[in-house]
A and B are shown apart, each in its own frame.
Chain A
Amino acid sequence: MPNIIETKKLDGSDILEINFGPQHPSTHGVFRMIVQTEGEKIRGLRPIFGYLHRNHEQIAENLPYAAIMPYTDRLDYVNALANNFGYALTVEKLASLEVPERAEYLRVIMAELARIVNHITVIGFMLNDLGAFFTPLLYAFRERERILDLFEEVTGSRLMNNYFRFGGVKRDLTALHLATIHQIVAKFPAFLEEFETLLSKNEILCMRCQNVGVLSPETATNAGITGPVLRASGVNYDIRKVDGYSIYHRFDFKIPLGKKGDVYDRYYVRILEIRESLKILEQALAKIPQGEILNKKTVPFIKMPRNFKPPVGEAYGRVESPKGELGFYVVSDGTPQPWRYHVRAPSLINLTVLEEMCLGQKIADAIIILGSIDIVLGETDR
């Protein structure tokens, strides 16, 4: 590590190296950026992560399959349900398990609610990074609270849901819960309207966000960027459409695409995605059938997790987490524990283009570009 106090000459101008993080109000956790600046302009940026490394994959390789589920909650702690979904999908692929109809609907409903929670939280934090002093964030939290209350009632926890089981879900939604979700879905557009009036057209916000941190579609695809960051650059790639996993192919929804690929597009694409999620929720609520919530084959394994031994083989399952393609790669050797367990974390891979986007921008832009990528350090560092 070079001495960061030193200023050095690079192509004739003075370069100042500034250390953002690991303790900094806007790095969204313990993330560190070494920024080389010339005045306010960024000339170089080196992201450093790993401060929150918890050995997630190694721990998982020593646990029975079912006991990994609560650990996946801790990956991306803003939307634990998407992680549950991805992991459950992978193990079901590995063990060739069917999921009952109702459970599929419950999964989609919960995952889409988690997507809404994640997107409004991200937008709120991004606007907070822009300097809008907590107002949009707290408005977002106000609405998020309703959804989290529902999560608490259904899954038992607000954030660490641990809701999915192999071949189904843990608990059924009662008619009352469904009515609550109906209410949330009905009320949400009004909130989005208010939220957009607050800042979407605000001149200061537009000045700050438009044409800042532009990510070209070529760079994005080459770097393996996924999720709203990729779609803001105009690439139509959503795993819900591409794979049509679970029962997503049955729903009618659109993929909002940006054009420029700047911070504003990433902000607005997320708002539009919330609207699409609401559409999915409406359809799912209308069509949800009665029935089992857990595959009969896996019911005994709830009481005896160690008896669950998928056949020898490997599986890669992926879902469209709100941050991008969340993939789990699991190799089974026929024992109760996975032989290899790997997570393809969208936060980490989306972070790789940070320097590319920040070069030539101002210091203040680096913060909002980081905010617009939407990283969660729990997932980045694992």
Chain B
Amino acid sequence: MENIGSFIDMIFVTAKAWILALLGQFLPVWIVVLASIVISGVAILCLGPVIMMYLTLLERKVIGRIQNRYGPNRVGIWGLLQPIADGIKMFTKEDIVPANADKLIHLLAPIMTVVPALMIFVVVPFGRQMTAADLNIGFLYFIAVSSITILPIFMASWSSRNKYSLLGGMRTAAQLISYEVPMTLAAVPAIMMSQSLSTNTIVLTQAGSFGLNWFIFTPWGIVGFIVFFLCATAECNRPPFDLPEAESELVAGFHTEYSGMKFALFYMAEYMNAFTLCGIAATLFLGGWQGPFLPSWVWFFGKTLALICIMIWFRGTFPRFRVDHLMAFAWKFLLPLTLVNILLTALWQFTSASAAWLFSIMILAAMLYMLVKLNRVFVPEKRNYVLAD
């Protein structure tokens, strides 16, 4: 039983090792190293688009159910072939470039937007020993690469020569830069506690008994996780933070002038970003692939998918923020909260557990109260309505 468990747990790792051993018997070492890189690379390159395709289906299904209707259910059983049909449609669609567009940048933008989205996959720990490259600065790498996403989006908006696109691009630049700050700061506690920037080490720190010593089970972990998750939602332009593509105002925002496969690439990047950001959130606070009984990669994908479902749930429920509220939310609410959270984490190190819980909750409550008081704009007014004759 134990053996089968660990076999399934390590199935991908073993498979790769077996292939490499096979190659090693009759090929020089450098080719084997190259093959190792290629195998991981190909796995990620295949995984990314497939995840994206089925996330679109999942999203449409879940939103459909939220709205009391079936989602796509025509192509294949339960609509399982729908993403493939969409793909074929996207590939065969005419590619329209506006006459006044900056053609080169217009072409480059969708390509450039996919690259960082794929690059983040490198440091995501999918399971035990299943990180493509276990960089010791993994988290720093993630922050650096994910912030590139702004650039292609802005390129797309600028090169389209469309005012909706331009406004969308401006909003993107402001939004993504703002939300990067609280997102990074929200992750700092996790890094402080694991004393490492390597994503794999962060996961290993959360092992404990039954692999349940997750950071989210601490007060600073909860706050950090919520802030990180909200910022992640904002980072991948998902509702309620989807201002760059605000459908009801800006038609489609930065990708208004894109069609066919170029448009699909933006979508692909968006969904892959959503996946990796949820994966990183799971890694930092939900114990990554840690968890009892089930194989490690099942835990990882389960947690990530659960987070993605919450994102979809957000989309099915909330109206969109307005630009100024969005910025105020990042700078006046999330940022102070994360700073206090870092302080809390530092204090957590020195005090005993139960006293620390009480203490943290008190500080957090006081902080939240203060922030809400300071940000009157977030608090709904109470209204009474006259019923006249």
Chain A–chain B contact at Cβ < 8 A = yes
Given A207-B322, A268-B385, A364 and B249 touching (CB < 8 A)?
Answer: yes
List the A side residues contacting B63 at CB < 8 Å: 133-135
Kindly state whether residue B94 has any CB partner on chain A within 8 Å: no
List the B side residues contacting A207 at CB < 8 Å: 321-322, 325, 377-378, 380
Cβ-neighbour of B381 out of A26, A138, A206 (below 8 A) = A206
B388 x A236 contact (CB < 8 A): yes
Q: Residue-by-residue, is A104-142 near B (CB-CB < 8 Å gives 1, otherwise 0)?
A: 000000000000000000000001111111110011001
Which residues B311-333 have CB closer than 8 A to chain A?
Answer: 315-325
Kindly state whether residue A201 has any CB partner on chain B within 8 Å: yes
B380 x A203 contact (CB < 8 A): yes
Selecting from B114-122, B127-135, B238-246, B295-303, the interface stretch reads: B238-246
Complex Cα gap A205–B240 (Å): 11
Beta-carbon nearest neighbor of A275 in chain B: B387
How far in angstroms is the closest Cβ of chain A from B254?
15
Kindly state whether residue A61 has any CB partner on chain B within 8 Å: no
List the A side residues contacting B167 at CB < 8 Å: 18, 40, 363
Which residues A226-268 have CB closer than 8 A to chain B?
Answer: 234, 236, 241, 254-260, 264-265, 268
Complex Cα gap A215–B258 (Å): 39
Complex Cα gap A236–B389 (Å): 8
B389 x A129 contact (CB < 8 A): no
List the A side residues contacting B42 at CB < 8 Å: none
Kindly state whether residue A12 has any CB partner on chain B within 8 Å: no
B323 x A364 contact (CB < 8 A): yes
How far in angstroms is the closest Cβ of chain B from A266?
12
B317 x A268 contact (CB < 8 A): no
B68 x A272 contact (CB < 8 A): no
List the B side residues contacting A139 at CB < 8 Å: 67-68
Complex Cα gap A135–B69 (Å): 11
Cβ-neighbour of A131 out of B66, B67, B242, B385 (below 8 A) = B242
Kindly state whether residue B74 has any CB partner on chain A within 8 Å: no
Kindly state whether residue A198 has any CB partner on chain B within 8 Å: yes
A138 x B383 contact (CB < 8 A): no
Complex Cα gap A19–B163 (Å): 9
A130 x B251 contact (CB < 8 A): no
Looking at A211, A256, A259, A364, the one whose CB has the most chain B CB atoms below 10 A away is A364
B68 x A142 contact (CB < 8 A): yes
Beta-carbon nearest neighbor of B323 in chain A: A40
Cβ-neighbour of B383 out of A26, A259, A363 (below 8 A) = A259
| Range of interface residues on A (Cβ < 8 Å) | 35 or more
How far in angstroms is the closest Cβ of chain A from B241?
10
Which residues A196-234 have CB closer than 8 A to chain B?
Answer: 198-199, 201-208, 210-211, 234
List the B side residues contacting A127 at CB < 8 Å: 319
How far in angstroms is the closest Cβ of chain B from A232?
9
A367 x B322 contact (CB < 8 A): no
Kindly state whether residue B247 has any CB partner on chain A within 8 Å: yes
Kindly state whether residue B3 has any CB partner on chain A within 8 Å: no
Q: Residue-by-residue, is A9-26 near B (CB-CB < 8 Å gives 1, otherwise 0)?
A: 000000010110000111
Cβ-neighbour of B248 out of A16, A25, A205 (below 8 A) = A25
Kindly state whether residue B379 has any CB partner on chain A within 8 Å: yes
A135 x B379 contact (CB < 8 A): no
Kindly state whether residue B386 has any CB partner on chain A within 8 Å: yes
B380 x A206 contact (CB < 8 A): yes
A254 x B389 contact (CB < 8 A): yes
Kindly state whether residue A340 has any CB partner on chain B within 8 Å: no
Given A203-B378, A364-B320, A256 and B385 touching (CB < 8 A)?
Answer: yes
Kindly state whether residue A374 has any CB partner on chain B within 8 Å: no
How far in angstroms is the closest Cβ of chain B from A354?
16
List the A side residues contacting B321 at CB < 8 Å: 204, 207-208
B325 x A16 contact (CB < 8 A): no
A269 x B323 contact (CB < 8 A): no
Cβ-neighbour of A135 out of B317, B384, B385 (below 8 A) = B317
B389 x A210 contact (CB < 8 A): no
A364 x B385 contact (CB < 8 A): no
B381 x A210 contact (CB < 8 A): yes
A367 x B385 contact (CB < 8 A): no
Complex Cα gap A207–B68 (Å): 28
Cβ-neighbour of A134 out of B67, B377, B378 (below 8 A) = B67
A272 x B385 contact (CB < 8 A): yes
List the A side residues contacting B239 at CB < 8 Å: 131, 133
List the B side residues contacting A130 at CB < 8 Å: 248, 319-320
Complex Cα gap A138–B65 (Å): 11
A255 x B389 contact (CB < 8 A): yes
How far in angstroms is the closest Cβ of chain A from B323?
5
Which residues A303-356 have CB closer than 8 A to chain B?
Answer: none
List the B side residues contacting A16 at CB < 8 Å: 163
Q: Residue-by-residue, is B356-381 near A (CB-CB < 8 Å gives 1, otherwise 0)?
A: 00000000000000000000011111
Cβ-neighbour of B69 out of A133, A138, A363 (below 8 A) = A138
List the B side residues contacting A379 at CB < 8 Å: none
A18 x B163 contact (CB < 8 A): yes
List the A side residues contacting B319 at CB < 8 Å: 127, 130-132, 199, 202, 204-205, 208
Kindly state whether residue A170 has any CB partner on chain B within 8 Å: no
List the A side residues contacting B320 at CB < 8 Å: 130-132, 204, 208, 364
B318 x A202 contact (CB < 8 A): yes
Q: Which 4 A-B pairs have the closest CB atoms?
A: A131-B320, A206-B380, A130-B319, A254-B387
Apart from the given pairs A131-B320, A259-B385, 15 other A-B contacts in the complex at a CB distance below 8 Å: A25-B247, A130-B319, A130-B320, A131-B247, A132-B319, A138-B68, A139-B67, A202-B318, A203-B378, A204-B320, A206-B380, A208-B322, A256-B385, A257-B388, A364-B323
A interface residues with partner B (beta carbon < 8 Å): 16, 18-19, 24-26, 40, 127-135, 138-139, 142, 198-199, 201-208, 210-211, 234, 236, 241, 254-260, 264-265, 268-269, 272, 362-365, 367
A-B contact pairs, 24 of them (CB 8 A): A19-B163, A25-B247, A25-B248, A26-B248, A131-B246, A131-B248, A131-B318, A133-B63, A133-B239, A135-B316, A203-B380, A204-B325, A207-B380, A255-B387, A255-B388, A255-B389, A256-B387, A257-B386, A257-B387, A259-B384, A264-B383, A269-B385, A272-B385, A363-B249
